Amino acid sequence: MRDEDAQLANKYLREATKKEADRMEEDAFETKQKEINEEWRKKKLDMELVRQQLIQQLSEAATIRGSKGKKKGRRGGGKKKKGM
């Protein structure tokens, strides 16, 4: 009877150890997934910030370009010389 009890206790110990190892593995996986998701969230925010800055720069450049106006009659610059 003692031998059976020892075997049964040993069996439960192995099962509990396996369950704990599985739980720890799952926790590690979930932690890694959270880290990856957080990293992507930060990258997306950073990319959005860079995108907004680029849009602002391009808008400012377009405004400056538009405010200067077109210069008319300055394309060719003077008369062309006849053959030399």
In the chain, how many domains are there? 1
Which range marks the domain in which residue 49 is found?
1-64
Residue 83 domain-assigned? no
Reply yes or no on whether the pLDDT at 68 is more than 80.
no
pLDDT at 66: 85
Tens-place pLDDT, residues 20-55? 999 999 999 999 999 999 999 999 999 999 999 999
Residue 35 domain-assigned? yes
Q: Give the separation between CA 20 and CA 44, rounded to whole angstroms.
A: 36
Residue 78 domain-assigned? no
| Greatest Cα pair distance in the chain | 122
The sign of the dihedral angle between the CA atoms of 21, 23, 25, 28 is negative
Q: Span 66-73, mean pLDDT?
A: 68
Mean pLDDT over each residue of the chain, to the nearest integer: 89
| Residue 13 CA neighbour count, 13 Å, CB half | 6
Residue 39 domain-assigned? yes
Structure tokens at 18: 């396996």
Task: Judge if pTM exceeds 0.85.
Answer: no
pLDDT at 2: 86
